[in-house]
Structure formats: C-alpha cells, structure tokens
Amino acid sequence: MARRNVAMRSSGLANVGSMLLVTAVVVMILFVIFFKNRELSAKKAEYEKRDRYLLEKIEEQNERSNEIEEYRKYMQTKQYIEDMAKSKLGLVYKDEIIFEAVD
C-alpha cells in the first residue's frame, strides 16, 4: 500500500507539473500573439497612411493630366495661334492699333 501511495503521489506531481508546463506554454503563445498583433496593427496603420498619400498623389496627377489635355486642345485653336503670333512675333491685324506706354 505504501508503494501505491508513492506511485499516486508521483503521478499526481507529474500531472501538476505537466499542467504547469502546458499553462506556461499557452501563456507564452498568448504573449507572442499579443505582441505580433500590436506589431501588425502598427504596420497596418502605416500602410493605410501611405495608401491615403498615394491616392492623393494619383488624384493630383489625374487633375494635372486633365489640365494638360485641355491645354493641348487650346493649342489647336485659332485663338492660340493668334496669341502666340502677337506675343512672340509681335504681329497685329491691319486695322489694329497698338498703344505703348512711355517710361
């Protein structure tokens, strides 16, 4: 009977030791998950910030592209040709009078 008590005590201690070991492993896994979650949340916030920045840049470039397209259309008009002839070459119509300021 004494041997049976010793065997039961040692198996009971083994069970308690095993439970403590399993609990320690589970707690360690939870800590790892918690810290990785915080790390991933920080990366997610950083990526969302960069995403917003890039979307703003895309919108700016689309607006710029539209402005360039409008200017290209303007360059193909008669008004553009007249404006360039007046400003670059100094040309005027026959019946047009030019006044220049005297300094």
> According to the model, what pLDDT value does residue 45 have?
97
Per-residue pLDDT tens over the stretch 20-63: 999 999 999 999 999 999 999 999 999 999 999 999 999 999 99
> According to the model, what pLDDT value does residue 5 have?
55
Provide the sign of the torsion angle of the four alpha carbons 3, 4, 7, 12, taken in this order. negative
Tell me the HSE value of 67 on the side-chain side, using a 13 A CA sphere: 6
Domain ranges of the chain: 2-89
> According to the model, what pLDDT value does residue 8 have?
55
* 38, 41, 43, 48 alpha-carbon torsion, rounded to 10°: -160
pLDDT confidence tier of residue 98, bands split at 50, 70 and 90 = confident
Nearest to 37 by CA among 45, 49, 24: 45
